[in-house]
Chain A
Amino acid sequence: MKQTKRTGSSLFSPQYMVRDILISLFLLAGATAISFGFFHVVPENSANIALIYISAVVLTARLTNGYLYGIVASLVSVVAINYLFTFPFFAVNFTLTGYPVTFIVTLLISISVSTLTTRIKEQADTLIEREKFLMEAEKEKMRANLLRSISHDLRSPLTGIIGNSTAYIDNAESLSDTEKLELVKHIREDSNWLLNMVENLLSVTRISANSMKIATSMESVEEVVSEAISRLRKRLPDAAIKVQVPEEFLMLPMDAMLIEQVIINLLENAIVHSKSTLPVELTVTADPRQASFHVKDYGIGISPDKLDSIFDGSCYDPDSSSDGHRGMGIGLSICKTIITAHNGEINAINHENGCEVIFTLPRNEETKA
């Protein structure tokens, strides 16, 4: 409601008024010019002249905002017809035989047409307005959801960091060296986790918010994979990962940073949540159309009812705040966003001994469309 009001008042801003007045004047002047020409050729037919003016009024109503210009234009037309094209010329005379009828009919047609076109335009505007409003609301809702889950995810490690550091400062004298080390270790763990979270969020900012498009360049798959693994190893030095890339040298259009982020998220997810010490396997295969990245673990798998929804962020459950799955919902939904922006696909399946996530990337830009 508020928005309609705002656009309503803005229609009468000086800029619009000047424009509308100019349009009206132009159309009326045009009608007058044509009528003069017409009148010169066929002096006896003033009914046609009325039609020319009515056309000008209709156009005025269509091209200007609000009722005002149409109505004023119709009044001006009626007076102009009387003044210019009915006897006595160049004088206003309403006593002419039959003229009151012409006058009233012209006025009525003009007013009703102008209100009609104005209403159509208003309705179209309202429709666009409403659509925009709905989209805004949808976006707003998504943003609010994301913010809520992020804030939730950020709060627990921050609480840990603040708590541990406060404990250290407050009890510096009474704590043993081992206890102190323990506290600082917790701080480091939590900070590393926070860092991971922030990198994920930062990576999303590389995707243009409106078009969901990314800037891709041809990147070597093995280089991206190797950098992703070395970045992950910085944080999880003991991670057991088996990697295999195609013997063929493979280059794909992608944003390397984003794909690295996807690989890191999927590997970390597999390592941390599979509850298994068996190595996680990352295998890249290629066919002429696309490349597939398989991240396979030999752990507990994913419960079947969650399988379909793990990438849309909806498996985030505000009640299970104490479990160890903190943040992975966001990590996976970010993977989905990134892969979708690359025109690829991402899916998770359970195999007999665990879980496998597969994402594909098209091999050339043409397949994008």
Chain B
Amino acid sequence: MNDTNISKNTILLIEDEENIRTFISTTLKNQGYKITSASNGKDGMHLAASLCPDIVLLDLGLPDLDGMDVIKQLRAWSAVPIIVISARTNEHEKAKALDCGADDYITKPFGTVELLARIRTSLRHGNQMKDLTSIQQKPYHCGNLTIDFDRHVVTLHDTIIHLTQIEYKLLTLLAKNSGKVLTYSFLMEKIWGPYVDSNNQILRVNMANIRRKIEENPATPEYVFTEIGVGYRMAEDEN
């Protein structure tokens, strides 16, 4: 590897369709990433081991291996961020991939802007999922919303927003992982503990209350976005 490449982030793309491979490679190369691609799961795993990429883009529909297995096997020895590329029709598959250890997903068909945003987010956060106790000094800031984690204060347009304990916990959890989608099961477990039943209505009611407090119009949110059937995603921290 020569010196000019050291600063470049390496991306491994595992995708069987050539047209999509070409388009992603071209886009990412132009953005200054170093990209290597594999057309099947086995090659992908070998490359992941030998290259130690900074990010793996993984298509779930591979010809040789099940995408879920690839995620699990990679997770067995590597903490590299994995972004799953999935077809839109199956929302359970996305949630499952995230719960298996993928960091984020992007749905086909996607635009380059969306892809680049996901990659930037994953590069910034790395694989470490932050939970409520993880220390974050800098306040979250996006648009008119600020969350000061030290002082436990949420402000919108410089006015303090009053949240319940659970609402505050939910919002900080989302904010500390801003830009990433957090699944229903992850949120439920972190807020209500591991023994909560699988009905996530309580979560959605709390999210609805948060929306009414921080969003101007709950139907066109600016800060907390819904990924139906999967979970919630908070707008990326502007810091």
Does B88 touch A at the CB level, under 8 Å? yes
Check if B204 sits within 8 Å of A223, measured CB to CB: yes
CB distance from A219 to the nearest CB of B (A): 7
Residues of A within 8 A of B219 (CB): 222, 225-226, 229, 243-245, 282, 284
Check if A251 sits within 8 Å of B201, measured CB to CB: yes
Check if B220 sits within 8 Å of A224, measured CB to CB: no
In the bound complex, how far is the Cα of B138 from the Cα of A364, in angstroms? 45
Residues of A within 8 A of B (CB): 195, 199, 202, 206, 218-220, 222-227, 229-230, 234, 243-245, 247, 249, 251, 256-257, 260, 282, 284
Check if B225 sits within 8 Å of A230, measured CB to CB: yes
* One of B44-52, B58-66, B162-170, B226-234 contacting the partner: B226-234
Known: A245-B218, A257-B91. A220 touches B227 (CB 8 A): no
Q: Which 8 A-B pairs have the closest CB atoms?
A: A223-B226, A243-B219, A249-B208, A245-B219, A256-B228, A222-B218, A225-B219, A222-B219
Check if A224 sits within 8 Å of B208, measured CB to CB: no
Residues of B within 8 A of A (CB): 88-89, 91, 109, 111, 114, 201, 204-205, 207-209, 211-212, 217-221, 225-229
CB distance from B89 to the nearest CB of A (A): 6
Question: In chain B, what residue has the closest Cβ to A243?
Answer: B219
Q: Which of A199, A251, A260, A282 contacts B228 (CB 8 A)?
A: A260
Residues of B within 8 A of A195 (CB): 109
Check if A222 sits within 8 Å of B91, measured CB to CB: no
CB distance from A202 to the nearest CB of B (A): 6
Question: In chain A, what residue has the closest Cβ to B218?
Answer: A222
CB distance from B149 to the nearest CB of A (A): 26
Check if B89 sits within 8 Å of A220, measured CB to CB: no
CB distance from B81 to the nearest CB of A (A): 24
Check if B91 sits within 8 Å of A218, measured CB to CB: no
- Interface of A, secondary structure class, is helix
In the bound complex, how far is the Cα of B221 from the Cα of A234, in angstroms? 15
- Interface of B, secondary structure class, is mixed
Question: In chain B, what residue has the closest Cβ to A250?
Answer: B208
Check if B208 sits within 8 Å of A220, measured CB to CB: yes
Question: In chain A, what residue has the closest Cβ to B201?
Answer: A218
CB distance from A174 to the nearest CB of B (A): 24
Check if A199 sits within 8 Å of B88, measured CB to CB: yes
Query: Can you list 25 A-B pairs with a CB-CB distance of less than 8 A?
Result: A202-B88, A222-B208, A222-B219, A223-B228, A224-B228, A225-B219, A226-B221, A226-B225, A227-B225, A227-B226, A227-B227, A229-B220, A245-B217, A245-B218, A245-B219, A247-B212, A249-B208, A251-B201, A256-B228, A256-B229, A257-B89, A257-B91, A257-B228, A260-B228, A284-B219
Residues of A within 8 A of B89 (CB): 202, 206, 257
Check if A220 sits within 8 Å of B220, measured CB to CB: no
Given contacts A220-B207, A282-B219, 15 further A-B contacts (CB under 8 A): A199-B88, A202-B88, A219-B228, A220-B208, A222-B208, A222-B219, A223-B207, A223-B226, A225-B219, A226-B220, A227-B227, A229-B220, A249-B205, A251-B204, A284-B219
Check if B204 sits within 8 Å of A234, measured CB to CB: no
In the bound complex, how far is the Cα of B217 from the Cα of A243, in angstroms? 8
In the bound complex, how far is the Cα of B219 from the Cα of A171, in angstroms? 47
In the bound complex, how far is the Cα of B226 from the Cα of A226, in angstroms? 8
CB distance from A31 to the nearest CB of B (A): 61
In the bound complex, how far is the Cα of B109 from the Cα of A202, in angstroms? 14
Residues of B within 8 A of A219 (CB): 228
Residues of A within 8 A of B91 (CB): 257
Residues of A within 8 A of B211 (CB): 222
Question: In chain A, what residue has the closest Cβ to B90?
Answer: A257
Residues of B within 8 A of A226 (CB): 218-221, 225-226
Question: In chain A, what residue has the closest Cβ to B211?
Answer: A222
Residues of B within 8 A of A245 (CB): 217-219
Question: In chain A, what residue has the closest Cβ to B208?
Answer: A249
Check if B220 sits within 8 Å of A243, measured CB to CB: yes
Residues of B within 8 A of A206 (CB): 89
CB distance from A257 to the nearest CB of B (A): 7
In the bound complex, how far is the Cα of B205 from the Cα of A39, in angstroms? 82
In the bound complex, how far is the Cα of B162 from the Cα of A6, in angstroms? 75
Known: A220-B208, A222-B211, A226-B221. A234 touches B226 (CB 8 A): no
Interface centre among B207, B220, B221 (most CB of A within 10 A): B220
CB distance from B203 to the nearest CB of A (A): 10
